[in-house]
């Protein structure tokens, strides 16, 4: 059963019967969905329902968890990302991730952004322009252009998060995963990042986990509702918010639980 979006022009991420266990405990149950290209997809649901776990499947960050076992199939751009010939480094280049807490490296602003391109062998002479472009795309160029050499940790929390977005963009991914990127930020920084995300969908496919219903409604085109490891409902955001098919979705969205 694929819960889904009809008449999707192009599918970026296709998930089929995904099951995931942490040791004995099953954290994701039989999840299938198709995430359209160049869209913002929001994942919502109460704490512990498996949103982050699901997100980490998409760039194989769960590989780092020792006793994590996965069944099912995930294809990104029609390639099975758990297939035998997959290079995880290459996958993570194409599928970037921005975390809940801003996590800039303890180095300069410039070096943070240049980190990815450098490890992937970018030409030294191209670095300046790659960094500038990434900072511009992440809407933080104006604030940092005159202090690229200063430590990234001297930026404010909101600036640090946009720097982390720039750092991800510099690797030129095609999909970007956001795990509650604004939950540690003030309202103004949050608004800036929301604007940025809506802007980025021109060029990227975006999946964002959020606890903020208004945020999901504001910025996403599609919404998936998770509950206890299951994907209860997935569809166009407007439809999910105005006319949910499942009682639990409605209860969650209207704040009756979770």
Partner 1 sequence: MFSKNSKEKGIESVLFFISTLTVLILFLICIFLFRDSLLLFKETSLLDFLTGKFWYPTSVNKQFGLLPLLLGSLLVTAGSILFSVPLGIASAIYISELAHPKVADFLKPFIEILAGIPSVVFGFFGLVVLVPFMQKTLNLPTGQTALTGSIMLGIMALPTIITISEDAISSVPSTLRQGSLALGATQWQTIYKVIIPASLSGISAAVMLGIGRAIGETMTLMMVTGNAAIIPSFPGGFFGPVRTMTATIALEMGEVPQGSAHFHALFAVGSVLFIITFIINLIADSIKKKYRFKVG
Ligand X SMILES: Nc1ncnc2c1ncn2[C@@H]1O[C@H](COP(=O)(O)OP(=O)(O)OP(=O)(O)O)[C@@H](O)[C@H]1O
Binding site for Mg ion (CB under 5 A): 52
Residue 50, contacted partner among Mg ion, ligand X, partner 1, none, CB below 5-8 A by kind: ligand X
Determine how β-strand 222-227 pairs with β-strand 11-22.
Answer: unpaired
Choice between 159 and 182, CB closer to Mg ion: 182
Which residues, including other chains, have CB under 8 Å from residue 156's CB and lie 6 or more apart? 189
Q: What is the CA radius of gyration of the chain?
A: 18
Choice between 166 and 216, CB closer to partner 1: 166
Contact with partner 1 (CB under 8 A) among 22, 82, 105, 141: 105
Residue 1, contacted partner among ligand X, partner 1, Mg ion, none, CB below 5-8 A by kind: none
H or E stretch at 119: helix 109-119
20 within 8 A of 53, measured Cβ to Cβ:
yes
Choice between 99 and 105, CB closer to ligand X: 99
Beta bridge partners of 227: 230
**Taking CB under 6 A as the rule, does residue 27 contact ligand X?**
yes
Segment 9 to 68, residues that bind partner 1, using CB under 8 A: 59, 61, 64
Segment 36 to 55, residues that bind ligand X, using CB under 6 A: 45, 47-53
Which residues, including other chains, have CB under 8 Å from residue 169's CB and lie 6 or more apart? 96, 134, 137, 138, 176, 200
**Taking CB under 6 A as the rule, does residue 65 contact ligand X?**
yes
193 within 8 A of 161, measured Cβ to Cβ:
yes
What span, in angstroms and rounded, lies between the C-alpha atoms of 103 and 240? 32
Q: How far is the CB of 148 from ligand X (least distance, A)?
A: 33
Q: How far is the CB of 108 from partner 1 (least distance, A)?
A: 11
For residue 21, the 8-state DSSP code is: E
Contacts with partner 1 by CB under 8 A lie at 59, 61, 64, 89-93, 96-97, 99, 101, 103-107, 115-116, 119-120, 164, 167-168, 171
> What is the binding site for ligand X (CB under 6 A)?
22, 27, 45, 47-53, 65
């Amino acid at each position: 059963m694929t819960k889904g979006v009809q008449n999707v022009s192009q599918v970026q991420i296709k998930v089929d019967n995904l099951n995931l266990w942490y040791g004995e405990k099953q954290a994701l149950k039989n999840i299938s969905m198709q995430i359209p290209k160049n869209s913002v997809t929001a994942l919502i649901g109460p704490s512990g329902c498996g949103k982050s776990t699901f997100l980490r499947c998409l760039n194989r960050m769960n590989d780092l968890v020792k006793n994590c076992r996965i069944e099912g199939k995930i294809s990104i751009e029609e390639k099975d990302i758990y297939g035998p010939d997959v290079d995880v480094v290459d996958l993570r280049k194409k599928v970037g991730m921005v975390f809940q807490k801003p996590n800039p490296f303890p180095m300069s602003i410039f070096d943070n952004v240049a980190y990815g391109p450098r490890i992937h062998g970018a030409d030294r002479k191209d670095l300046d322009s790659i960094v500038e472009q990434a900072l511009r795309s992440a809407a933080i160029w104006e604030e940092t252009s005159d202090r690229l050499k200063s430590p990234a940790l001297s930026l404010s929390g909101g600036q640090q998060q946009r720097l982390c977005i720039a750092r991800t963009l510099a690797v030129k991914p095609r999909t970007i995963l956001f795990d509650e990127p604004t939950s540690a930020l003030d309202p103004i920084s949050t608004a800036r990042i929301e604007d940025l995300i809506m802007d980025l969908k021109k060029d990227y496919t975006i999946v964002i986990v959020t606890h903020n219903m208004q945020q999901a409604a504001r910025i996403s085109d599609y919404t998936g509702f998770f509950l206890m490891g299951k994907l209860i409902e997935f569809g166009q955001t407007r439809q999910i918010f105005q006319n949910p098919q499942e009682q639990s979705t409605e209860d969650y969205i209207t704040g009756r639980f979770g």
